[in-house]
Chain A
């Protein structure tokens, strides 16, 4: 396989494209709304109308407005024999929402002048227009189950250039200059991490893709894997070349069967074309990727626990240092990055570090994918430049709370994060600003809560999560979370005194500073942030208790 062959595949794929594209979302949200049957009946409707020559139905990844699924997008026009209208490539397609299989004939009918009553979506609404797709540039466009589709979208060209024209040091330098920071939560500079692994000494090295996505309310990584799996594989291969690894693992949670299936297909297809395996692109670089499936433990998202789990053990965190970069999987130097981090690599290689660094804020470069969910009109995925104000995301793009409700807070960063009150919505979203607000970027879950939400209850909810998910290795976390949960329950039931509140705050400090891993260290965060912004709710519950 060389560049000419790669370009040939792309050319052939584009040439085979028919004038009208009918794209049907086959990602998790829409699949659970029966989109598989919708696609089948679209196929049948095309055959019935005798339009096979001109119309192509493709199963694609997430189109982002998941709450309106199943979504179908129609692009292009059927050429009528008399009027030969040009195919308007640049115009927006037509988006159909909540499509049921019975809608297919009328949707296909519109291509030959028919009418349809199927609900239409507005592709020119702010939800779409404020997005800046880099990570999701192929999502909803390419067929995730066909490597040709990814290659036609310039896929694997970055890997080719890296292997044939660049040294590992060049690659690391590009990633460093791009300013990319890890998307798994903490925001550690990716280039620095790669350089550390590259420098580390070991006969073998590994790269791991963290696809555990344990934060409840986050589904970006799932969507990326389901919509564009090759993108992640390409990123991993480039990383492996840069740090000197020949074996990769993707650790995916078992709750994501579609993502696992598509990754398996993608790996097989890439191997067959010689893009993964030995002597990739006829270079001297070998790289093999295997999938490891999680078994339901939030703590396995923590990197040392994740590696223990890959080794077939209980996923219990280890003290660091040594960091995985020095001593990771089976004691060898290991690079571990998040799904979205890897998904950013190929465009950076293709378009350059300066291009990427020009997007976002001074310290947070590029875009971030957020999973918008909760009490909000438009739920789904959004990808926006770092630094976009929260207000724009929640009110303008998300459309606020449905039925005239009022937003009270947004929860970001999952159990390690916090609740940001509506009064702070002019804040931009980047690593530093969110930290300043007492929350964090986390993996990118954004859950909107309206005025009916009880914030003490929310804090208790997260504490229950941490209590259940604590691995039990260290006492502050194992015992502390149980006691914190007990105190929060007492408060929310109106049975607590001011002494309990003081105890709560004190215990939060203890758990935060004495726990071994990030789970325990951040477990008190939701309590801290609700106390910071919504203390009156705690006080009201305590007062109410005092009266009884």
Chain B
């Protein structure tokens, strides 16, 4: 089994109130956060941040759970989750590569990196490699414009990137997975 599916959250189908029926420990941790915010409805965004950190993405089940806990209509929770770019409603790859497409990075060649990746790795922004290893994403300015073009590899920002360095990284991730598998 490869690390991608291992990292994937367990898909629990049953939504219920206070204590989650699936017995998934992550719901307990989410509960702790909700309690810390004293079930305040205006803490919704903070709680969704925590939920995404725990589950990797916001599956429907989790959204319903949050809605019930905060006594908010699910439409409101769904509305917020879809409004903000950083919330993701679909699972992503085991690794992530975020290319900054802000103005500074753009004029320093971020677009070229994306076009090259499309050619050499056959992957577009917003997609995950077929082996489920790497999700390629874009962001609008990471605030590291002084070292543009900037790319975030699994959370670590690196400056002065080129199509080659990004391509190499993606390949290393895939190679690791083949080795493990």
Residue positions of A touching B, CB distance < 8 A: 28-29, 31-33, 66-67, 69, 213-219, 222-223, 254-256, 292-298, 309-315, 371-375, 379-381, 411, 414, 445, 447-449, 453, 461-462, 465, 468-469, 471
Chain B minimum-CB-distance residue to A256: B143
Which residue of A219, A254, A309, A311 contacts B145 across the interface (Cβ within 8 Å)? Answer: A219
B107 within 8 A of A: yes
A445 and B103 within 8 A (CB): yes
Q: B122 → chain A, closest Cβ, in Å?
A: 23
Residue from A222, A448, A469 with most neighbouring chain B CB atoms (10 Å):
A222
A29-B159, A411-B103 known; A379+B145 contact, CB < 8 A:
yes
Residue in contact with B103 in the complex, picked from A216, A309, A313, CB distance below 8 Å: A216
Which residues from A are CB-within-8-Å of B144? 28-29, 32, 66, 219
The answer to whether the Cβ of B148 comes within 8 Å of any Cβ in the partner chain is: yes
Cβ of A219: which chain B residues have Cβ within 8 Å of it? Answer: 141, 143-146
Contact B141 A218, beta carbon cutoff 8 Å: yes
B136 surroundings in chain A (CB, below 8 A) = none
Q: List 26 A-B contacts (CB under 8 A).
A: A28-B142, A28-B157, A32-B158, A33-B147, A214-B141, A216-B104, A216-B106, A217-B102, A217-B103, A218-B143, A254-B49, A295-B87, A297-B83, A297-B85, A309-B45, A312-B40, A312-B45, A312-B80, A313-B76, A313-B80, A373-B104, A373-B145, A447-B104, A449-B107, A453-B107, A469-B140
Closest chain-B Cβ to A261's Cβ sits at a distance in Å of 13
- Does chain A have a CB within 8 A of B134? no
* A456 → B minimal CB distance (Å): 14
Smallest distance from the beta carbon of B53 to chain A beta carbons, Å? 11
Q: Which of B80, B104, B146 contacts A314 (CB 8 A)?
A: B80
Please report the C-alpha to C-alpha distance between residue A219 and residue B141 in the assembled complex, in whole angstroms.
9
Residues from chain A with a CB closer than 8 A to the CB of B147 are 29, 32-33, 66-67, 69, 379
- Complex CA distance for A521 and B141, rounded to whole angstroms: 22
For residue B104, which residue of chain A has the nearest CB?
A373
| Interface-centre pick from A297, A379, A414 (highest chain B CB count, 10 A) | A379
* Known contacts A32-B150, A313-B80, A295 near B85 by CB under 8 Å: yes
Give A449 to B44 CA distance when docked, in angstroms.
41
**B139 near A: Cβ within 8 Å?**
yes
CB of B156 to closest CB in A, whole Å: 7
Kindly identify which residue among A215, A223, A372, A462 contacts B141, using a CB–CB cutoff of 8 Å.
A215
CA separation between A471 and B44, bound complex, in Å? 19
Least Cβ–Cβ distance between B19 and chain A, in angstroms: 24
User: CB-CB < 8 A to B44: which residues of A?
Assistant: 312-313
Considering the complex of A and B, which 10 residue pairs feature the smallest CB-CB distances, nearest first?
A66-B146, A216-B102, A295-B84, A296-B85, A296-B86, A373-B104, A216-B141, A32-B157, A312-B42, A312-B44
Chain A neighbourhood of B86, CB < 8 A: 254, 295-296
Q: Could you tell me if A311 and B42 are in contact, using CB atoms closer than 8 angstroms?
A: yes
- The chain B residue with its CB closest to the CB of A62 is B146
Minimum C-beta distance from A231 to chain B (A): 18
Residue among A216, A292, A379, A471 making CB contact with B146, cutoff 8 Å: A379
Contacts of A449 in B (CB 8 A): 107
Query: Residues of A contacting B84 with CB < 8 Å?
Result: 294-297, 315
Is the beta-carbon distance between A312 and B43 smaller than 8 angstroms?
A: yes
Judged by a CB distance under 8 angstroms, whether B79 is at the interface is yes
Write the B84-97 contact mask toward A (1 if CB under 8 angstroms, else 0). Answer: 11110000000000
Contact (A217, B85) CB under 8 Å given A32-B150, A222-B143, A310-B42: no
Does B121 lie at the interface of the complex (its beta carbon under 8 Å from any beta carbon of A)? no
Number of interface residues of B (CB under 8 A): 38
Complex CA distance for A219 and B79, rounded to whole angstroms: 30
Question: CA–CA, A218 to B146, complex, Å?
Answer: 9
Whether A315 contacts B107 by the Cβ 8 Å rule is: no
Q: Check if A371 sits within 8 Å of B145, measured CB to CB.
A: yes
* B174 on the A face (CB < 8 A): no
The answer to whether A375 touches B108 (Cβ under 8 A) is: yes
In this complex, what residue of A is CB-closest to B52? A295
Q: Does B162 contact A (CB under 8 A)?
A: no
Report the minimum CB–CB distance from B85 to chain A (whole Å).
4
**B102-154 interface with A by 8 A CB criterion:** 102-104, 106-108, 139-148, 150
Question: Are B141 and A217 interface neighbours, CB within 8 A?
Answer: yes
Q: Does B24 contact A (CB under 8 A)?
A: no
Q: A28-B157, A314-B80 are in contact. Are A371 and B146 (CB under 8 A)?
A: yes
Set of chain B residues within 8 Å of A69, measured between Cβ atoms? 146-147
B61-88 interface with A by 8 A CB criterion: 76, 79-80, 83-87
Partner among B46, B104, B142 whose Cβ is within 8 Å of the Cβ of A255: B142
Which single residue of chain A is at the shortest CB-CB distance from B44? A312
Query: Within the complex, which residue of B103, B139, B159 is in contact with A447, where a contact is CB–CB below 8 Å?
Result: B103
Interface residues of B in 29-45 (CB under 8 A from A): 40-45
Contacting pair B148 A379 (CB below 8 A): yes
Residues on A with beta carbons closer than 8 Å to the beta carbon of B40: 312
Q: B140 touching A216 by the CB < 8 A rule?
A: yes
Instruction: Answer whether residue B170 sits at the interface, using C-beta atoms and an 8 A cutoff.
Output: no
Residues of A within 8 A of B106 (CB): 216, 461
CA distance A418 to B139 in the complex (A): 22
* Beta-carbon nearest neighbor of A215 in chain B: B141
Q: Of B79, B87, B104, which contacts A374 at CB under 8 A?
A: B104
Q: Does B48 contact A (CB under 8 A)?
A: yes
Interface centre among B79, B148, B156, by most chain A C-beta atoms within 10 angstroms, is: B148
A414 with B103: CB separation less than 8 A: yes
Asked if A374 and B108 sit within 8 Å, CB to CB, the answer is yes
Q: Does B146 contact A29, Cβ atoms closer than 8 Å?
A: yes
Given A295-B84, A312-B41, A312-B43, are A32 and B143 also a contact pair (CB < 8 Å)?
no
Shortest beta-carbon distance from A120 to chain B in Å: 19
* Known interface pairs A295-B48, A315-B83, A379-B148; A255-B139 also in contact (CB < 8 Å): yes
Nearest B residue to A415, CB-CB: B103
A32–B140 contact, CB under 8 A?
Answer: no
